[in-house]
Structure formats: C-alpha cells, structure tokens
Structure 1
Amino acid sequence: MARINLFEKVEGTIPEKYKYRPVEELAARVREIKAQLGNRLFIPGHHYQKNEVIQFADAAGDSLQLAQISAENREADYIVFCGVHFMAETADILTGDNQTVVLPDMRAGCSMADMADIEQTERAWIALQEEFGDTMIPLTYVNSTAAIKAFVGRNGGATVTSSNARKMLEWAFQQKKRILFLPDQHLGRNTAFDLGVELSEMGLWNPLKEEMEYPDGKADDIKMILWKGHCSVHENFRLEHIEQLRDTEQNRKILVHPECSYEVVQASDLNGSTKYIIDVIKAAEPGSKWAVGTEMNLVQRLASQHPDKDIISLNPEMCPCLTMNRIDLPHLVWSLERIIKGEPVNVIKVNKQTASDAKTAIERMFAFV
C-alpha cells in the first residue's frame, strides 16, 4: 500500500569515515560544535537513547516532557532530536517556522507508529461510523505519525501520552460514548480497564482485515475501540517472565510500562509511564530489588544510577529498541557538522495543513493536562 509523504526531508547517507572515527574524537567534536553554536543549538534526547548520545542532550525526557520542552523552545535555530521520527515531527509541529528540526538518522522510526497509516485510519473511521454513528471520538498516543495526529485533531480528538492517558480518557468519555484509540491497543486497554471499562466493552479494530474483533459482549456495549497495534519492545515482556520471578524471587518487585500486555500489567506490582518508572526507582528503598519491564537502555541506566538497588530487566534476553538505537554518536556528529557547513541533513518538515491539524490535537491535550 502506498503511503502519502506528508513531510519534506533533506536526506542523505552518512559517509563511511564517520563510522571509523574514534569515540573520543567524536565526543570531542560534539562538545566543540555545541560550544560554537551555543543557544542556537538544542539537543533533546529520549530516555531510551544510548549513553553515548544521551550524555550530550540538553534535556532528557519521555514523550510528554520532550513535547512540552519543544513547545516552549523559541530560541534555538536548530533542534537536533535524538529520538525517533514521530518525536521529531512533533518537535517541528510545535516549534517556530524559523527553527529547523533535524533527525540524525532517518531510519530511526517506530514500528508502533507505522502500524496505523492515514489511509487505513480514514477507511476505518468510515466503517466505524457506519457501525456506531456519531458516538466516537478519536484519541491517539503520541507514538503516532503527524498524519494520524492531524486526523485526530480534525475529528475533535486529542493526543495522549502514557503519563496522562487516564486523564485524557476521562476527558474523551465526557465528549462521546466511545473512544477510538490509536495505535497501541495495550495502553488503551490497560488505561480503560483502570477506569472501570470491562474487557467485554472493548473491541479491537484489525486494520489488515479492516474489521472489528468483538469480545464476548455485544457490539452495542462497546466503549473502547482499540487499534490493533503494539510496541515491539514491550510485547517481549511476557507472563512467563513474571511467573518465573514469583517462583524464585518473591521479594523482587515488578515494575512495567503500560505498553505491556494486559496480562503482564495485571500480574505486575506497579505500572506507569517512563517518568513514573524513573521516579519509582529513584524513591525506592536502598537494597530493594526490582525487575523493570521497559526498554533496555533505560533499565541499564537506572541500574547504573542506583547502585544501592538491585535492578534487572524483566526479560533477561531483552535487547534495546533497535530503531531508537539507530541514533548513535557518528550520526549525531555528522548531523552537527552538516549544520556547521550550512547544509543540514535529514530535516523534518511537516506540511502546514498537517501540522496545523496535528497541533490542534496536541494543544487539546496540553489544555487538559
């Protein structure tokens, strides 16, 4: 299926020479360019980034924090976003026309965001309106493309993050009887269940078959229409991992992200956003033991930052987010040197109409939270 190109980009391939430069030389070059550009350069970095990259971030955060920081930034000429594509799109949507957003490696995408494209979504909306009439409001996780955010904005909905999903669902249920939740079924299901929505009141829209998968309940009972998408990282945390720890280490607490499956979230001790996970570990008692179900770079960083606590990954065979890890030190240096030359590469530019509609959805979220 062809995808509509809703953004313009200056794209290139990193020269081989960057891949073989010593790490110390690359790090020194980043520091040199940051000093040269000063306030003209701003580097936001997501918590899932590698240490070699996150050490140079001017601000580190989760999706909500970085969205807010991007919205507030009016000083930097260049924003070099160390995250994935949808995050850089959001930064471009929220920053000024005079500011340039760069993604060091265009391959840094998000498999979850790619599970809902605009053509699929528009067809689904028509089909669901035929089924349910004007009883729905769309919400989209910020882990979605600018086109999906724009669709939600045009249809009266808003974006959500894992930090504010509960508040945004409460808001949405005040607007309409039903919610279409894109693109992560697990965050939608876990949040709705916490609000008292029964599993029998949740349907699953299959975008490949273009049909609803109903639970045991009746179609008229449906309150949540979940898009059949997921995070490939968080789906790798399974119930068997929890059961094994319960058998061998009863005193190890289990803390997971709500992008994990319903079964995993229900069996864990605590669940919450990336910021919530960080805050819980920070406040935990020295000597406490934790198994954390989220991206491996963050788990390893938490273990390093809190040596007084025993922190492991819930899945012992877990690997970092592969797309997020495409942002590395060579790509960061390359993108910065291209800025110095006046030839920025991998510029993210969302077209004006898409950006305007997407900003509407984002600002509805900001207004409520």
Structure 2
Amino acid sequence: MTTTASIELTLKDISATGSDDEMCSTDLIDAPWDVDIRPGYGPGASMDDPIPQAAPRQGEIPAEYRDSSAEELNERIIRAKAELGDRVVILGHHYQRVEVVEHADYIGDSFMLAKAAQNHPEAEAIVFCGVHFMAETADLLSTPDQSVILPNLAAGCSMADMADIDQVEDCWEQLTDLLGSEPDAEGKVPVIPVTYMNSSAAIKGFCGRNGGIVCTSSNAEVVLEWAFERGQRVLFFPDQHLGRNTALNMGIDLEAMPLWNPARPLGNNSPDTVEDSKVILWQGFCSVHKRFTPAQIDKARIDHPDVRVIVHPECPQETVAAADESGSTAYITKAIAEATEPTTFAIGTEINLVQRLAAEHPEHTIFCLDPVVCPCSTMYRIHPGYIAWVLESLLESTVINQITVDAEVADPARVSLERMLAAKPRV
C-alpha cells in the first residue's frame, strides 16, 4: 500500500525497486510527449478502450520543456503564473497528479471547476488541467472574450467517446419511430434525454435541442426526478453504471433498465422491452471505476474489520451494493474531511485523488481498493511541461491549444447546462 501523494514518484519507485506494488502498464513511467506519438489513449485504465479516429492528437512541444527537470518546470510555472497574475486561472481536476494540482487555483470535479471558471470573468485565459469535455464545458460557461486552454490536446475521455453524436442521433431516430414524439394524457413526452457531464459538447447540445438535461454524479437523482416529471422514460448516457445505480436508489426495477448497444438495431432490444422501460442505459462506462470489484471490498473487510468503504457511483452495481456508501468525488472528500475519529477508509475512485487524500489526512488510514496503481490514462497526459509551455506562451500573447465550441452546438448545450445548474443536489 502506498501513501505517497505523488503518483509519478510512486510509479518510478515501483519500477526502480521492483516492490510488491504493481502498475497496470510499465509505459506509465514514460514521458507523456513520448506517449503522445502513439495511437490510443495511452497507458493507464483506459489503454484498452478503442479510441475514435478523429480524437485530437497533441503535436510535439518545444524541446526546452521536454528536457527540463521537474524542479525547473516547477520554477517556470511559478514565475509565469506570478507574471500573468489575474490574467489567468488554472483549474485542476481531482484526478490530476500532485505535480499539476499544486499549481491550480481551484481543485475539484468537472462541475465544480466549470463553476469556478464561470466565476472569473476577469481572467483572459482559463487553463483547464483536466480532459477535453471539461474544457468544452468551461468554454460554454465562460465569457466570449476568454480563452479556454487544454494543456495537452490528447487528454480526452474514453467514457465520453463511447457516445458520439451520430450514434445518439441514430438512437433517437429509432426511439422516435417506435415510441412517437407526442405527449401522453399527463403531458409527458415518450423520452427525455439525460447526459452525464462526462460527454461532448455535441451531446449536451443534443439534449438541449430535445428537451433534455445534463447531470453530475452529485445531482443525478434530482435530474432523473426532473426528467420523469416531463417524460415517460429516460435515455441516459454515456455511463450505464451511474444511470443504473441512481435509478436503483430511486426504486426502479432492473428489468425496466435495458442496455442500449449502439452497434445493434434498437440497441439489441425488442420493441416490448423498450416500450416497458423506465431508463434506457447507454452501453458506456468509466475504465477507472470499472476496475473496482466486490472481491476487493471483501479483502478490505478481512484486512481491516472496521473499514469504511466508499466508492464512486460510476462503479458497477455489484460493487456499489457491497460498499458502505457511494458518492461523487466531492462526497468522498467531504466524508473523509468530516470524520471526527481516526478511521480506516477504503476508497473506490481514481488513485491520484486517493493518495492525495491519504497524504492530506494522516489521522486516517486511507487506501485505494484496487491494489494495482492504474491512473486515468487521459488525466495522466497533463504534465507540468505542458503547463509551463501554455503559460509562457500566454506571456508572449500566444494562445496554445484553445478549446472552442461552435455556436450552433454551444447555444443548445448551454440550455441543458442551465437546467443542470438549477437542479441542486440534495445535501
């Protein structure tokens, strides 16, 4: 078990010492600019997921950033940040390596960081240390004069890529052909589309155009209630596990939650199955959270009889059922911070966050359920070298890796996001 806050150092230690700890890929110790030239999402939890051919690729960055030491990059970032002052805001997702988040003005989940971006209209640039869909959302919620920058364009999201706009439009056409589009006697339309924040701007725009809404892992239940007030059933994408776990908590039967396979006609379902459904679940998942299992929880309880197990709702249903609690990253961090007595926590979420929580709360014993060190492939693509590059470019009035959402997508996407912002999560 490791408690070092830095995953980068942990991985190098494992590689150098041959310790009992494991990593899912030895390629994790490679520099991200070396990984960038290879196909795929890169080493880590998503490395076996198929990547769309059109996924953004990061070109080569200047040698001065590739060749600088960790100490030199750290100093360059600090100097550039100080000189830029209020002109820039740096946002760091919970799953980023500590060498990145230590430079962030705000640390949080995708929703919290999007709100942070919205609250700083004075900044000329927003450097989003996360993944592509997060930068898109920040662009949607920021002012037209602001530039949103993703330090490494290869930082995508395999879950978000599991539902592309063409597949969703095709699904919607099939559902409309089968179920129609007219409301019933109660005024409820046949289907309301609900997309998780972990989706492209195009998908959010689709929801905005079709009476739908965006949800987060914190307000998913409130959003589903909103949808059921307006529709007979919900089409939930791209994460099947969040949709299933949320609907189960609401008392909806598993039999009423068919899985939609976008590669098969009618999602590989019969017409009766679709007509009898309450929540149609897209066949998507998070490769990080798919790694957590009931067997890991069983072992944690054997090793630590008093353990408190908390997992993210993107985990499979069986894992959530075996845990003591499930909740968003904000829920997990709050639960640990509010524990008044020394507690042993087994956490089922991304390893960077778990190890950082362990370092920040030495009064507790905190460990990751998965014994194999396997960070999010795409979050790990962000590195201090890229941050130094984009910040020093801003000093020269050059914007690198700007993320911009076209107006025809942005306008309806903002509609679905505003509906999400109005759906306050229960405390």
Whether these two folds match at TM > 0.5 is yes
C-alpha displacement of 1:93: 0.9
1:15 matched residue in structure 2: 62
2:263 to 198, 201, 208: 208
2:244 matched residue in structure 1: 189
- Aligned 8 A contact 1:11 1:347 in 2: no
C-alpha distance in 1 between matches for 2:203 and 2:263: 17
C-alpha displacement of 1:210: 4.2
CA-to-aligned-CA distance 1:218-245 (integer Å, 9 cap, x gap): 4432100000000010000112211222
2:75 matched residue in structure 1: 28
- Aligned 8 A contact 1:3 1:117 in 2: no
C-alpha displacement of 1:123: 0.3
1:38 aligns with 2:85: yes
Q: Could you tell me which amino acid in structure 2 is paired with residue 197 of structure 1?
A: I
Query: What are the ranges of 5 or more consecutive residues in structure 1 without an aligned counterpart?
Result: none
C-alpha displacement of 1:304: 0.3
Q: Could you tell me which amino acid in structure 2 is paired with residue 116 of structure 1?
A: A
1:173 aligns with 2:228: yes
1:241 aligns with 2:296: yes
C-alpha displacement of 1:10: 11
1:345 matched residue in structure 2: 400
C-alpha displacement of 1:209: 2.4
C-alpha distance in 2 between matches for 1:19 and 1:5: 26
2:24 matched residue in structure 1: none
1:67 to 114, 118, 122: 114
C-alpha distance in 2 between matches for 1:16 and 1:4: 27
Query: What are the ranges of 5 or more consecutive residues in structure 2 without an aligned counterpart?
Result: 1-49, 182-189
Report the number of matched residues: 366
C-alpha distance in 2 between matches for 1:129 and 1:246: 48
C-alpha displacement of 1:246: 3.0
Q: When the two structures are superposed, what TM-score results if normalisation uses the length of structure 1?
A: 0.95
- Aligned 8 A contact 1:102 1:347 in 2: yes
CA-to-aligned-CA distance 1:168-225 (integer Å, 9 cap, x gap): 011111010100001000000000110111101101110122433559x944321000
C-alpha distance in 2 between matches for 1:173 and 1:202: 14
2:173 matched residue in structure 1: 126
Q: Could you tell me which amino acid in structure 2 is paired with residue 303 of structure 1?
A: A
- Aligned 8 A contact 1:10 1:346 in 2: no
Which structure: greater strand fraction?
A: 1
SS in structure 1 at match of 2:211? coil
C-alpha distance in 2 between matches for 1:2 and 1:254: 32
C-alpha distance in 2 between matches for 1:193 and 1:106: 37
SS in structure 1 at match of 2:403? strand
| Greater Cα shift, 261-270 or 17-26 | 17-26
2:199 to 132, 144, 167: 144
Structure 1 residues 120, 4: CA separation in 2 closer, same or farther (over 3 Å shift)?
Answer: farther
1:108 aligns with 2:155: yes
C-alpha distance in 2 between matches for 1:299 and 1:241: 15
C-alpha displacement of 1:12: 3.9
1:92 matched residue in structure 2: 139
Summarize the alignment of residues 215-226 of structure 1 with structure 2, pairs less than 5 Å apart: 218-226=273-281
- Aligned 8 A contact 1:236 1:318 in 2: no
2:26 matched residue in structure 1: none
- Aligned 8 A contact 1:12 1:346 in 2: no
1:282 matched residue in structure 2: 337
Q: Could you tell me which amino acid in structure 2 is paired with residue 76 of structure 1?
A: A
C-alpha displacement of 1:289: 0.7
Identity of aligned residues (%): 48
C-alpha distance in 1 between matches for 2:70 and 2:51: 40
C-alpha displacement of 1:342: 1.9
The CA RMSD measured in Å over matched residues stands at 2.1
1:313 matched residue in structure 2: 368
C-alpha displacement of 1:274: 0.4
- Aligned 8 A contact 2:258 2:273 in 1: no
C-alpha distance in 2 between matches for 1:294 and 1:20: 32
1:295 matched residue in structure 2: 350
C-alpha distance in 2 between matches for 1:219 and 1:168: 21
Q: When the two structures are superposed, what TM-score results if normalisation uses the length of structure 2?
A: 0.82
1:163 matched residue in structure 2: 218
C-alpha distance in 1 between matches for 2:217 and 2:334: 14
Summarize the alignment of residues 324-339 of structure 1 with structure 2, pairs less than 5 Å apart: 324-339=379-394
C-alpha displacement of 1:252: 1.1
CA-to-aligned-CA distance 1:117-171 (integer Å, 9 cap, x gap): 0001100111112223230000100100011010011101111000111110111
1:262 to 299, 310, 317: 317
Structure 1 residues 123, 3: CA separation in 2 closer, same or farther (over 3 Å shift)?
Answer: farther
SS in structure 1 at match of 2:107? strand
C-alpha displacement of 1:335: 1.0
Structure 1 residues 233, 2: CA separation in 2 closer, same or farther (over 3 Å shift)?
Answer: closer
C-alpha distance in 1 between matches for 2:292 and 2:299: 12
